[in-house]
Amino acid sequence: MGNELLDIFLLSLTSMFNPSLLAAVTVMLLLDNPKRLMTGYLAGAYLTSMTVGLVIALSLPDSSTESTSKHAIGPGADIALGTLALALAFVLATGRDQPIQQRRQAKKAIKHNARREAGKATESLPIRLLGKGDPKLAFVVGAALSFPGASYLAALTRIHKLDAGTGATVLIVVAFCVIEQLLLEVPLVGYVFAPDRVSALIEDFKGWMARKGRPAAVIGAGLIGAALIVSGLARLG
């Protein structure tokens, strides 16, 4: 069970770096009264992620054939995911993704300018809704953007295989969802207790990400990849 819980924790950290969540948090921090907006978004995110996660984790089939099959392919899936994470770390460390990023940015700029010249909105619908500054709309956006992604679905499979009982499964799913939203929860808690200090820390964090974001991503992907591979190999043995 220890290896499975470690896998689930690592997947929760991976799931935390969701591009949609990062964009939403950035927008809300720049608007008036970000505390209310983030509270609304977080409530919507909890509603969707916890409800859907519990439904999936508690309703997966339990037949012995399927259980045996899952355990048989489980180590291979861990090793495959770990290999992909190490490959990502290598690509980021060597800068091999930069030409692709530059082409994507150029295409995005062309599309952005074309929409602006045509008088169309240049931002996505969720960002436009958040820009209205309404906590109720933030709730809707949070709920819509928080359906389980690949990392969460992989974690739900592992949670189900733990066969830890209903109560323990609920606690693990809730803990996963809380970790998944840390990028939103940390500044929100800070705004409650020390808003001025949090504003300064957020600016420092943005600067740190601009300087050290890539090395941090390389280290994180490398550690996650190595842990998944070791876990997979241990389960094969």
Low-confidence ranges of the chain (pLDDT < 50): 63-73, 122
In the chain, what are the domain boundaries?
Answer: 2-96+124-236
Read off φ and ψ for residue 178, nearest 5 degrees: -65, -45
What is the structure's pLDDT at 42?
94
- pTM, full prediction: 0.64
What is the structure's pLDDT at 129?
83
What is the structure's pLDDT at 136?
92
